[in-house]
Structure 1
């Protein structure tokens, strides 16, 4: 098992929206691979949404409902990307940190 400070933040929330963590030494295990695939999907969707947002914002004829939907989707994508960044940031090698 990994040490408590080496838990992996998973790209999904648990009951009541609480974060889920994985404690394992097997980086190639089923849950680790599933989390990797979900993170890749989330990052890909965020990239596509960013591209779509440029189109929506460049089109001055968009209605307020479309802009509200875009804002909600961007908020969701940002939450996912921040979770991935937080999870991956824990695994980065930082100079001077053991």
Structure 2
């Protein structure tokens, strides 16, 4: 696990604000969600084969599908590793977008 960078004065506020802005830029909530990017009951988690809630993509063409449980377990590491959400169930995408609204 990496070490969280710290401001030389010990103030984490500027670093947190930069992180939030970077997350907003990477997250699909900044744009309308095209209808074709919703997952369906046929999409399954690559880890446990439960119904997929989110699909993530990484430059180079790699894609993974995650159920809600595995998404909660791995989403921080995925964002840190350069993965970004490209699709999800309608409800999951709406909830993810609403959660980011609180960071404005």
TM class by shorter chain equals 0.3 to 0.5
TM-score (normalised: structure 2): 0.33
Structure in which a larger fraction of residues adopt helix:
1
Q: Which has the higher contact order (CA 8 A, sep 6+)?
A: 1
